[in-house]
Amino acid sequence: MFADLKIDEIAPNPEQPRKFFDEEKHQELKGSIEENGLLQPVVVRPVEGGESPYVLIAGERRWRACKAAGKTVIPANILKDIDDETAYVLGIAENVGRANMTIMEEAGGYADLAAAGWDPLQIAKQFGKTETHIKWRLGLLTLRQEVSEMVDKGQVKPNLAWHIAQLNPGNQMVAATRYVRGDFDSEAEAQHFANGLKMMEKQTSLTGEQAPDAEMQETRKAQKAKAKDGLGKAEEVLLALLEELVAKKPEDLAVILGDDLPRHVKVIGKLYSQVQMVRNLLSKAQGIQRALEADFSRKALEVQKEAEEAKAAETAAEAKTEEKSATPQKKTGAKPAAKKGTPGTAAKPTAKARPAARTTAARNAPARKNTEAKPVAKTAEAATEK
């Protein structure tokens, strides 16, 4: 049923799969609605007991733009007898094909259906996608938040994002950051690097857990020399030949090669196929090599950090030992003084001795005065008599 509803009678869907609304696109749509009106109605369903009598199923961007344009009434398609799950499916269907729905929002919508019991094949049929597409989108949900934002911004493409999502959170940041800053010549190289990191996580033996013996070293040396010699010849002979052929015109080659031309076309076709396979193989090997280097750098940093922590702990222990050794020396110097003034032994006699000293002095002092005064008195008296 179609009807014009008051815009304030409609509430946004809290389970809306799309969370990001581009402000620039919003302003464009607002301007279009002000100029031409709303051309496509929103889709709503009636609800009981809610703050608003209707809830949006599809068309939140249009509803937002109409409110911003000052519209008080909006055309709506009212769907009755729609349960929550069906409404959610319709909401995803309305958004999933739009360019402005982010990849992570799409993945989140599929995840909600998977949580409700839908399998990837059912989801794929519902939205006209392949089962692989659904599985790859669901696989993105293990990405850490920072990498998810890179994917939503288009800095990391979906296929590469899936490979990165297979890694632990730390390696996810390593792979995504290196790709965004341009460390790889192609997306394929970045994928091979991510796969190499995954092998590191699984502790897959790439070079052997034990050091190669003398025989193995000689074998590897011979293999390296052979491969280097073969690739050198390809660069010297084959590349030069191909560059020479490319410089010629098709009509000249038709005359030069004559009846042998079909055979050469087949040979070049096989060569092209083999070159593509070798190139892919070498790219994978390069990815593993880079992953080994990244893993080595990480472990080197860990070793350096452990060494710094051990040195700091050793320094702290030495300082503590010095502090302990200094403390007993102070106590040893204080003990003799403590022995002299031990309570009950030295303090009390000292207190008694001081009064005795004062009494003796007092007795001696008057005695001296009396002894010395008497002769003086006698002398005076004698002087008077004379």
Structure tokens, 73: 């009434």
Specify the DSSP class assigned to residue 238: I
Q: Sort 120 into a burial class: Cβ within 10 Å, 0-12 / 13-18 / 19+.
A: buried
Taking CA atoms, 89 is separated from 20, 106, 118, 139, 161, in Å, by 18, 12, 11, 20, 25
Instruction: Read off the tokens for 341.
Output: 């003034």
Structure tokens at 334: 């204080």
Strand partners, 42: 76
The alpha carbon of 352 is separated from its chain's Cα centroid by a whole number of angstroms, namely 81
Which residue's structure tokens are 């320094």? Answer: 315
Say how far apart CA 275 and CA 235 lie, in whole Å.
12
Q: Which residues contact 152 (CB under 8 A, 6 or more apart)?
A: 20, 102, 103, 104, 105
Q: What is the chain's alpha carbon radius of gyration, rounded to the nearest angstrom? A: 47
- Where in the sequence numbering do the catalytic residues fall? 60
Q: What's the first-to-final CA gap in the chain, in angstroms?
A: 161
The letter for the amino acid at 174 is V
